[in-house]
């Protein structure tokens, strides 16, 4: 449904997929193409970590240990942000990750679709562990397809690159294992409700046209 004048969209959807599957890129394209307001739980958590709030301190401990942030914290943060959006349509990136989160969301808001990015774990591991970052600017390099001109050194400053804790092999492996254990039941949950739509591939540019086609049957594109 489209509200004339404001173009507020009634579709409410969630975007699922393991870390490194391209959810951020897909969410950005959906926002640009269809006008849905996107909400990233990862961004919310990182904001709290940066501000060193009580939630942020706990979240950082979880990240360093390769664990997901506890259900109740993520649920509270997300539902509070959704309430602020009002009656407009939205897309959640990274939530829900557990069945309890999915149920808490369903209790408050009817969902139109659960979009799942089905990317092989081997592809994700190779993609994430090849990432190196320049701390000062946040510039990210990938040794496979976007390497720095000089190995281990930022192109612009000549300063050393670092590998984030999140991108270290042992952390990536732990995160993917925990994601699989906790989120597989979520896929089953939405599948049983007839809301799950999975898109399989190793590259976002290959998966995206199918997502675009699917959403275009639900809401009119902006362009």
Q: Is 158 left (phi over 0), alpha (psi -120 to 50) or beta?
A: left
- The answer to whether the CB of 6 falls within 8 A of the CB of 84 is no
Q: Which single residue is written with the structure tokens 């069945």? A: 99
Structure tokens at 220: 């009119």
Portion of the chain with pLDDT greater than 70, in percent = 96
DSSP 36-71: -EEEEHHHHHHHHHHHT-HHHHHHHHHHHTT-PPPH
pLDDT number for residue 24: 87
- Model confidence at 162, pLDDT cuts 50, 70, 90, reads very high
Write out pLDDT tens, residues 70-98: 888 889 889 988 998 888 889 999 899 89
Please state the residue numbers annotated as binding site for GTP: 20-25, 131, 140-141, 204
**pTM (2 d.p.):** 0.80
Structure tokens at 176: 């993917």
Structure tokens at 26: 């897909």
Catalytic residue numbers, as ranges: 23, 97, 131, 164, 175
Output the CATH code of domain 2-41+89-216: 3.40.50.300
Please state the residue numbers annotated as binding site: 20-25, 41, 46, 67-69, 94-97, 101, 131, 140-141, 164, 175, 204
How far apart are the two ends of the chain, measured CA to CA in Å? 17
Please state the residue numbers annotated as binding site for AMP: 41, 46, 67-69, 94-97, 101, 164, 175
Q: At what angle do helices 169-192 and 99-108 cross, to 10 degrees?
A: 50
pLDDT exceeds cutoff 90 at 44: no
pLDDT exceeds cutoff 70 at 112: yes
Residues 197, 187: Cα–Cα separation, whole Å: 9
Residue ranges of domains in the chain: 2-41+89-216
């Amino acid at each position: 449904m489209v509200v004339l004048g404001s173009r507020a969209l009634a579709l409410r959807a969630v975007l699922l997929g393991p870390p490194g599957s391209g959810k951020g890129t897909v969410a950005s394209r959906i926002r640009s193409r269809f006008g849905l307001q996107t909400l990233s739980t990862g961004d919310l958590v990182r904001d709290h970590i940066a501000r060193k709030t009580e939630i942020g301190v706990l979240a950082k401990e979880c990240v360093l240990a390769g664990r997901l942030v506890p259900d109740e914290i993520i649920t509270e943060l997300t539902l509070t942000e959704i309430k602020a959006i009002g009656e407009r349509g939205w897309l959640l990136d990274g939530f829900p990750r557990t069945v309890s989160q999915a149920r808490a969301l369903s209790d408050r808001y009817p969902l139109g679709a659960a979009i799942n990015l089905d990317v092989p774990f081997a592809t994700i591991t190779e993609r994430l562990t090849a990432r190196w970052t320049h701390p000062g600017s946040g510039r990210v390099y990938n040794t496979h397809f976007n390497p720095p001109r000089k190995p281990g050194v930022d192109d612009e400053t000549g300063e050393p690159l670092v590998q984030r804790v999140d991108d270290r092999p042992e952390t990536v492996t732990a995160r993917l294992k925990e994601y699989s254990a906790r989120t597989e039941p979520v896929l089953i949950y939405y599948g049983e409700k007839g809301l799950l739509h999975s898109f399989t591939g190793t590259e976002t540019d290959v998966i995206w046209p199918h997502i675009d086609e699917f959403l275009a049957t639900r809401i009119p594109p902006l362009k």
